[in-house]
A and B are shown apart, each in its own frame.
Chain A
Amino acid sequence: MSDFRLILAGLGRKPLRTSLLIFAVFIAFLIYGVLAAFQSSLENAAGPSSSNRLVVANRINFTQPLPFAYVSRIQNVEGVTDVSYSNWFGGYYQEPRNFLLTFAIDPESYTRIYSEYVMPDDQRQAFIANRDSIMVGRSVAEQYGWQVGQQIPLSSNVWRRRDGTSVWPVVIRAIYDGKDANTSTGSVFVHYEYLDEGRAFGNDTVGIIQIVTADAAQNDAVAARVDTQFANSRAETETLSEQAFNAAFIDQQGNIGLIILGVTGAAFVTILLIVGNAMAGAIRERTGEIAVMKTLGFTSGRIARIVVGETLLLSLFGGLLGLVLANLLTNTLSGIPALNQFFGAMRITPQIALSAVGFMAALGFITGAVPAFNAMRVNVITAFRRI
């Protein structure tokens, strides 16, 4: 029998109480796992990010356009090695509720810069070569049962054609996968030229311009050069790292990170109070047993370790169960194409799992600290007088 058996014996003293405490911790980490996976998927859904990619947008707001001429001017800025551009399309399929996350892009430069989108080379070439092409993410293709070569009527709730209609006939020429599980395949891409030539207004403008720098260390200098170049013009620019731009894009929906922090924080504080209070009560009940252990020769330090071991085990067991269920749940949700399209692959990443285990350990130590301290302070003589 080791200290581990003593820990189990302590937890086994009141099985119902232990089960309820494990359930409380389980719920906290289920909430944490699902919300953290949701946040992570939102970040991925906003688009991939690379350390040496910058995004140039209108300083007023990224929904305001930039003159197309900026593309070639930015190409000549010192430190810029590649440039692409895109425009929000606002697409849907057949009816507005079948919303598609659609962007009009320069196909050649965009697929070169965004190597995270993986597809067979012949499909990429076909997509580049034909201006009525559409490149579709795997999850969208699976949702609608689309195949390469299929013609579909893509509608836009933003752009009307010169003939007054909103339907843009396109042919699926490429279906892309993500380079890894974190890359969302929920977007759809059409040719910028196809849009610009056909739209009734807003011609010769782009939404945002993507820049590739030689290395991330030059990002700040390149961003400053670009913004200086267009200072005091009719469309001033703001150049951000791709990561910062994606974060700003997500923040349109509200501060998701703060919401998750608030919800999980409230859950953790509640669990902390419940478990801490219950464990303190459990140690009070066991004053006599602790006194006996001290009498037999167990040191205060060893008894404290056993008490903290109980709260740690409780926290890890409940927490891991919660995380496992959160993983099953997010996997199931990711399997629903409509959700996958918008939120990307919702899953418990190794970083989320690692931080959760860290929180479990912290929860175990914090809730065990006071009971352990109380156990250390148990005075054998006083305790035996009470028995």
Chain B
Amino acid sequence: MSDSDLIVLRNVAKAYRRGEETISIFADLNLTIPSGDFVAMMGPSGSGKTTLLNLLGGLDRPTSGTILFDGAPIEKLSENKLSAWRAANIGFIFQFYNLMPTMSAARNVELPLLLTPLSTADRKRRVKTALEIVGLENRAGHKPKELSGGQQQRVAIARAIVSDPKLILADEPTGDLDRTTAVEILEMLQLLNRELGKTIVMVTHDPAAAKYARRELHLDKGTFEERHT
């Protein structure tokens, strides 16, 4: 493992129990994602892309193996420590945006900052910057239902970057958008990676979306096949 590696998966296995039956999603998975990488994770349905994303985000634990983040294992952290770790290190972008419907765009973006010791003024400043980055500074007071799908996803991106996480995990971020809006979102992710140096792992079914990443990882039958874009 080099100093520049942000994520290292060592012999990671994940299996679920369904009644008496044990279903293996993958076994002995090894992967290294350096800091500043932009990985598109592809594969057929049921190949374990989202499961892997959940493991990387500390939402799920491997059955065996180790996940190192910045050199430290995360799979043994307690629930509360894992929550704090997520708040400090991970930004999530979902397919269906998952914004709080009763809160304005600014309040939604501010949500992760409530888990930090930042003052109200600092939080406001950061929210303003995040909304400027995604080009929605003039929509700060709008509620999600007053925004288009693309705008809602941009708010979700602002929420993902507002706490300056080391890793952004995006699960089908363009799956619910039309082609033009999808391109806007993908270009924005590319910008975050190239200009701000954010490490991004994006799960997608869309080969066109995967082209925006630095490399593609195809997960199938528990193994990776790598392609550089």
* A residues in contact (CB < 8 Å) with B: 1-3, 5-6, 9-10, 12-13, 288-289, 291-301, 380-381, 384, 387
Contact = CB atoms under 8 A, between A and B. Distances in A.
A12 B83 CA distance: 26
Interface stretch (B63-71, B106-114, B131-139): B106-114
Contacts of B101: 13, 289
A9 B90 CA distance: 24
A299 B79 contact: yes
Contacts of B98: 288-289, 291-292, 387
Given A299-B80, A299-B83, A381 B100 contact: no
A369 B79 CA distance: 21
Contacts of A294: 83
A13 B100 CA distance: 9
Interface residues on B, range: 20 to 34
B224 interface: no
A387 B123 CA distance: 29
B79 A300 contact: yes
A289 B87 CA distance: 16
B115 A298 contact: yes
A1 B83 contact: no
Interface in B30-77: 54, 57, 59-60
Contacts of A299: 79-80, 83-84
B144 to A, nearest CB: 11
A387 B115 contact: no
Interface of B: 54, 57, 59-60, 79-80, 83-88, 90, 92, 94, 96, 98, 100-103, 107, 110-112, 114-115, 120, 123, 159
A12 B94 CA distance: 24
A296 B115 contact: yes
Nearest to B101: A13
Given A1-B114, A2-B114, A297 B100 contact: no
Given A295-B92, A297-B86, A381 B59 contact: yes
B100 A289 contact: yes
B59 A295 contact: yes
Given A1-B123, A295-B86, A300-B79, A9 B96 contact: no
B110 A1 contact: yes
A380 B114 contact: no
B92 A9 contact: no
Contacts of B87: 296-298
